[in-house]
Amino acid sequence: MPLFCTRIFYVAVLLGLLSSCNAPSAKAKKEGTAKPVAVKAVDSIITIQAVGDLVLGSTYPDSSGLPPEDGKTLFSHVSDILNDADITCGNLEAPLIDRGGTIKDCRDPKVCYMFKTPTRYGKLLKAAGFDFLNLANNHSHDFGTEGADTTAKVLRSLGIGYAGLRNDTPYIIQKDGIRYGYAAFAPYSSTCYLNNIEAAAKTIKALAAKVDIVIVSMHGGAEGPEYRHVTKEKEKQFGCDLGNVYKFAHAMVDAGADVVLGVGPHVWRGAEIYKDRCIFYSIGNFCIYGKISRNGYCGTSAIVRLNVKKDGTFQTGQLIPVKIRNGGIPELDKDSAAIPILKELSEADFPNTAPLITQEGKILYPSLALLSVPDQVVLPVADKMAEASIADKYYVISGSFPTLQEAKERKKELYAKGLKAEIMPPMDNQTHYRVSAAVFKDKGRAKVFRKEHEDQLAKDAWIMASRN
């Protein structure tokens, strides 16, 4: 991890809510209590959280790199949030190993870091709420194959899913009746190889056939503040080919990925919505204890919280800003520094597909929404003044469909019930057809219409705001 950090417009607003496959992983539950297995409803919302790089401390070259209280306070400011999701993911940038291992060759100590985290620290990751951890990075083999193998063994023993080592298969778990698949890639020979996009796509296509939700972690792109922008080309640094993350991410979604989470550059990069799926090109650092630069962009962090449907389509999200302080400990950031950074980078690099990011950190659809969100699950959008400034039409949407034929069938159903519906075609990188039962210039009238016609409309009807 060479570190040298010192350091949208056609818009529409959604008004609604906002493997090793060995052992199933789940958040900690009380032992000895037999409870029936809960199953999520077909139209329920799944919450996926992600954070960036994790280095919980290191005993290399000596134990001075370990945190106080043996790391018990590392996640104290954010643990409740991390545990409050269906799935929480992170990028483990340090092997868990107590002794032995072959130290990797370091040609330039000025840009080369090595980490060695005690195996007992694995329990900290479990208590913090992590379900999946990425091991596809340039530190998983800091202490050779032994270090990587020990890390995998510790995580398995704790019920934490992982992926990314060269011989790893995607990790699959089931929670509340939903099957989640996790795969990870990086541009290194010791990992699942990011630069072989065709092979990676085959892996994701096969995984998507087995699970409901596919999450992909990609460790790629050059490191540091000067590399905050996504070039959409191959990136090289220190003589290494660090991949074309734009091409890779799109290929993964094309193959069946529902969420793509970028790590590696140690700073924020932009985000976009591609084919109704959310891609974050880099979510920076998170908990990096030790002699690692946390200045400027490198110390500005956040928890990414995404709400998706069971079919993986993005609904809404929330950015929870974090500042890395006190040697590398994540704390909630009252100044919310990460929000304008992500907004600026996303709009600059993806002017047509960047999500709408509000001042409060809400993450919304970039244009006419393809969403089907139950009213009982609500994450408010921007305040009324902001909403009024960007919306001039309110559509009452009665379904979102992957094929035109399905949309026609819904339109026919509504017509038979006395409603004159229209089919709205996909736009930009979206893939679904929406069926609009009515359109109004006033939000209140749209709400009244939906209420008065709830017997004719589908139970998942929602109001969509847009601007012409």
Per-domain boundaries in the chain: 12-27+41-364, 391-466
Q: Can you tell me the distance from the alpha carbon of 430 to that of 367, in angstroms, rounded to the nearest whole number?
A: 9
- Tell me if domain 12-27+41-364 and domain 391-466 are identical in fold: no
Q: Can you tell me the distance from the alpha carbon of 111 to that of 115, in angstroms, rounded to the nearest whole number?
A: 13
The pLDDT assigned to 383 comes to: 33
Sequence-ordered list of residues with C-beta below 8 angstroms from that of 251, at least 6 positions apart, any chain: 197, 200, 201
Yes or no: say if 283 and 438 are a contact pair by the CB < 8 Å rule.
no
Task: Encode burial over 117-154: b for 16+ CB neighbours within 10 A, e otherwise.
Answer: bbbebbebbbbbbbbbbbbbbbbbbbbbeebbebbbeb
The pLDDT assigned to 19 comes to: 36
305-307-311-312 Cα dihedral, nearest 10 degrees: -30
The pLDDT assigned to 416 comes to: 86
Element (H, E) at 248: helix 245-255
Sequence-ordered list of residues with C-beta below 8 angstroms from that of 32, at least 6 positions apart, any chain: none
DSSP conformational letter for 161: E
What's the pTM? 0.73
Q: Can you tell me the distance from the alpha carbon of 372 to that of 464, in angstroms, rounded to the nearest whole number?
A: 10
**How many residues does this entry show for the chain?**
468
Domain at 391-466, CATH homologous superfamily: Sporulation related repeat (3.30.70.1070)
Which phi and psi (to 5°) does residue 95 adopt? -70, 150
The pLDDT assigned to 397 comes to: 86
Yes or no: say if 160 and 125 are a contact pair by the CB < 8 Å rule.
yes
- Alpha-helical (H) ranges within 266-421 are 338-349, 384-390, 404-416
The pLDDT assigned to 111 comes to: 63
Say which CATH architecture domain 12-27+41-364 belongs to.
4-Layer Sandwich (3.60)
What would the pLDDT profile of 337-392 be if each residue is shown by its tens digit? 999 999 999 999 998 889 989 889 999 876 433 333 333 333 333 333 334 434 56
Yes or no: say if 290 and 36 are a contact pair by the CB < 8 Å rule.
no
The pLDDT assigned to 460 comes to: 62
The pLDDT assigned to 434 comes to: 83
N- to C-terminal Cα separation, the chain: 46
Yes or no: say if 396 and 463 are a contact pair by the CB < 8 Å rule.
yes
Yes or no: say if 399 and 458 are a contact pair by the CB < 8 Å rule.
yes
From first to last of the 468 residues of the chain, give the pLDDT tens digit: 443 343 332 333 333 333 333 333 333 332 333 334 445 555 579 999 999 999 999 999 899 999 999 999 999 999 999 999 999 999 999 999 999 998 888 766 566 788 999 999 999 999 999 999 999 999 999 999 999 999 999 999 999 999 999 989 999 999 999 999 999 999 999 999 999 999 999 999 999 999 999 999 999 999 999 999 999 999 999 889 999 999 999 999 999 999 999 999 999 999 999 999 999 999 999 999 987 777 788 989 999 999 999 999 999 999 999 999 988 999 999 999 999 999 999 999 998 889 989 889 999 876 433 333 333 333 333 333 334 434 567 788 888 787 888 889 888 888 888 888 889 887 655 677 888 888 887 778 888 888 888 888 876 677 877 655
Yes or no: say if 428 and 448 are a contact pair by the CB < 8 Å rule.
no
Q: Can you tell me the distance from the alpha carbon of 366 to that of 99, in angstroms, rounded to the nearest whole number?
A: 50
The pLDDT assigned to 372 comes to: 33
- Alpha-helical (H) ranges within 42-103 are 79-82
